Structures are given as C-alpha cells and as structure tokens.
Amino acid sequence: MISDFATFDARFPLGAGAGSDAIHRNPVYSYAVTQLKDDGGHTGTGLAFTLGQGNELVCRAAAFYAEQLKGHDIEELMADFGSTFQRLSNEQQFRWLGPHKGVVHLALASVTNACYDLWAKKRGVPLWKLLTDLSPEAVLNTLDLSYLEDVLNREQALRLLQACHGSAHTRSGILQQGYPGYDTSIGWFNYTDEQVRENTRRAVGEGFTAMKLKVGAADPLRDIRRAHLVREAAGEGVKVMLDANQQWTLPQALEICEQLKGMQPYWIEEPTHPDDVLAHQTLAAAIAPLRLALGEHVPNRVVFKNYLQTGCAGFIQVDAVRVGGVSEFITISLLCRQYGVPVVPHVGDMGQLHQHLVLYNHIALDHPALFLEHIPHLQPHFVYPAQVAGGIYRTPLEPGSSCDLKMYARS
C-alpha cells in the first residue's frame, strides 16, 4: 500500500553552452521528482523534466496528485490504471489549469512515472520487462483512450495490441543487441564551429551513426554553414538531424528547409510552434521527401492525434516526462503504430526512462528500433545511469525504471 510520498525540486546547472538551443540559451536541467513510498519498503521514483524556473510549481502540483494515491495498493492501481489516469487528469479544479497540458500535466507525468517505477520495483523487474510481459488486455487497462474514439477505440486498440503480441518474441533479440543511440551533444547552439567539428569526429569515433545539430540562428547562413560542417566531419553514411526548437515562422521554415536540403538531413525537428498543426502540414507537404520530427513539446494524445491525422509527422518524438507519463506515452505509441509513424522519443530525462520504453515499443508494439536520443550531461547523478557504449544503449537490468537519483536514494 502507498503510505507516503515526497516531492523534490532537483536542479543541475550545466557547463558552458551545454543544453543550449535557438530558444533556450541558458537552461538549468531540472527534475520535479515524485517518490511514492509503500509499506513494503519500496520507493517508486518518477520524474518530470524542466529547464529550471518553475520546477517548484511542478513539484507542488505533483503533490496534489500523489496525495490522492495514498492508501492504494500499487498492483490494484495498475490493474486499472487507465481509470486512475482518467480520473486524475480530469480532476475538475486542476483540469481548468490545462486541460492536459502545462504545469499540471508535467506534474501528472511525474506521479504516473513514480507509479510505474514502484510497480516494476515491487515485481523486481526492469520496467521494459514488466511491460513486455503484460498481456494485451493488461496493457489496455493501463491506458486512457478518451477523446481518441474517432480513430482508436478500445476494441481497435485491443486488436492492434493482440496483432503485435503474437510476434513479440521475434523482436526480443534487441535485448542482447542493445538499442541504438544518437548523439545530441555534438551540436548545442552555443558551441563554436570548432567544438561542433571536434564533437562530431569524437561521436563518429565512439561508434555513433546518427547525431543532431541545433539550428534556428537569426542568420540562416550560420545554420547552413554548420550543417555542412557536420556533414563533412561525419561523412556521408551518418544520419544528421537538424533541430530548430520552434524558432522559425512558417514562411522562414519554408525558405530555410529548402536551403538545408543540400546536406541531406535525416529529419528537420520542431521547425515552428508546437501547437501549429496546420503549419506543420503545409511545411511537410512543401519539403517532402524530407521529413519532419515533432512532439517534444506536444502535451497530450489529442494533439498527437491531430498531427497524425494530417500526415505531417515523419517521426513522433513523444516524451514520457511531458505527456502524462508512461501510460499516455504508450497510448500515443499505439496511436503512432496505427498510423504507421515511428516513435523516436525526446529524451528530457537523459534516456533513463525512455531506454525502457523504446524496448517496449519495439518488442510489444512492433515499432522499428530506430535510435534513441543520448544526452550524457546528468548521467553521474543517477544510481543506475544508462550505459551507452559504441553508440548503443545496453539493456538495463535493474528493477524499476532507472530513474533514482543518488541524492535522494535510500541507503
């Protein structure tokens, strides 16, 4: 039984230039941490990720949700978590502050993720194993499909889960091989050209075959120069992604993407405002076959549904610490499977949580195992940091979701 909880406001200033992009010039990587404690001695840790200021608001909102879980048994909760998620996310007074977006939804992510962590720890297995061992019916019961009825009702969702389930064992080889990573830290916005060039060479040397550069400069020539610089240093065989972090207007994006085509980017990420579904639709049509990656700032399954309905997303970058946690992440992954769009999560939590979820998506939902973003800055703070070697995430084996921070770990 969940007997108590705590929240923590953890902030980690980064080194010079690290984490910077066209919009966020000086981020402080931060976690709004929820710990759920049960009377069996287990502690479930859930994270939401922010850039510093306001992290305390997420912690306070998380306490509001966590309070409502006291007295519940985690197995009982997870047997019907879809209902719990629906109830919490529609708690009527908090709902006004969203609905299903912003501070309250980040807070729900933190609490939801703590539930999944506690569940896996109590069963003594890594989260990916818990999830992949669930029956299609049991998975369905953890999901809230409301407002998706026009494209994915419960019956369709169950059929889809069942259809993938039969062949799951054929995809479990990924556990031994490890999941490919891509390196985002070669090309932070504030890094000099020389740093970017060196980082690119280092990443290739370490075995990465995909990497990302931040673009969105006031002067497009800077973007074009640096994109070609990365291409040159990485070689033709490496996938290079370009990330504008919402910086462009639609007219700018239309013009600049055309100019960036020459260096053959694998995708263009977050070209403009994350709420602007129709701008992405226009842009995607104009730059095809070059594809868009989006979703890092998309708050919930309803907006993702609209993005998928327009067909503008080449890759969906749902983040389990921005949408309402693991539950809604899986809902959106299922929706993407329905539309045949690959999921390449945004990694606000440094891959700790998402390394489990991409294994689930590949094995149980038959998503392609593309690659998972890798950002190493906060690894030293975790009890079980993600292990990435040769550009590959090694499958985590510790019980839970690998989100315990050393500073709050119980001895």
User: Is residue 180 a contact partner of residue 369, using CB atoms and an 8 Å limit?
Assistant: yes
Residue 186's nearest CA partner among 396, 408, 373 is 373
**C-alpha span between 199 and 194 (Å, rounded):** 9
Question: DSSP per residue over 164-201, as a string?
Answer: HHTTGGGGTTHHHH-EEEEEEEEE-TTS-HHHHHHHHH
Nearer Cβ to a second copy, position 8 or 64? 64
Kindly list the catalytic residues: 214, 346
Residues numbered 24 to 43 that lie near a second copy (CB under 8 A) are 24-28
Q: How far apart are the first and last CA of the chain?
A: 21
93 binds a second copy, rule: CB under 8 A: yes
Q: Which of 303, 313, 336, 347 binds a second copy (CB under 8 A)?
A: 303
Neighbours of 372 (CB within 10 A): 23
92 binds a second copy, rule: CB under 8 A: yes
**C-alpha span between 289 and 122 (Å, rounded):** 47
Q: Which of 124, 166, 251, 368 binds a second copy (CB under 8 A)?
A: 251
Neighbours of 339 (CB within 10 A): 16
Q: Which stretch binds a second copy (CB under 8 A): 17-25, 156-164, 338-346, 352-360?
A: 17-25
Question: DSSP per residue over 378-410, as a string?
Answer: TGGGBSS---EETTEEPPP-SSB-S--BGGG--
Neighbours of 363 (CB within 10 A): 25
Nearer Cβ to a second copy, position 229 or 244? 244
Q: Which of 86, 141, 310, 379 binds a second copy (CB under 8 A)?
A: 310
Q: How far is the CB of 303 from a second copy (least distance, A)?
A: 5
263 binds a second copy, rule: CB under 8 A: no
Q: Which of 103, 140, 320, 341 binds a second copy (CB under 8 A)?
A: 103
Nearer Cβ to a second copy, position 88 or 234? 88
60: part of which helix (H) or strand (E)? helix 55-67
Q: How many residues bind a second copy (CB under 8 A)?
A: 61
Nearer Cβ to a second copy, position 24 or 394? 24
51 binds a second copy, rule: CB under 8 A: yes
275 binds a second copy, rule: CB under 8 A: yes
Q: What's the half-sphere exposure (Cβ side, CA atoms, 13 Å) at 339?
A: 23
Place of tokens 């980017």: 265
Q: How far is the CB of 398 from a second copy (least distance, A)?
A: 29
Nearer Cβ to a second copy, position 209 or 247? 247
Q: How far is the CB of 224 from a second copy (least distance, A)?
A: 21
57 binds a second copy, rule: CB under 8 A: yes
> What are the residues whose beta carbons fall under 8 Å from the beta carbon of 135, sequence distance 6 or more?
165
User: Is residue 12 a contact partner of residue 28, using CB atoms and an 8 Å limit?
Assistant: yes
Residues numbered 338 to 397 that lie near a second copy (CB under 8 A) are none
6 binds a second copy, rule: CB under 8 A: no
Binding residues (CB under 8 A) for a second copy: these are 23-28, 50-54, 56-58, 60-61, 64, 90-106, 146-147, 149-150, 246, 249-252, 272-279, 282, 297, 299-300, 302-303, 305-306, 309-310
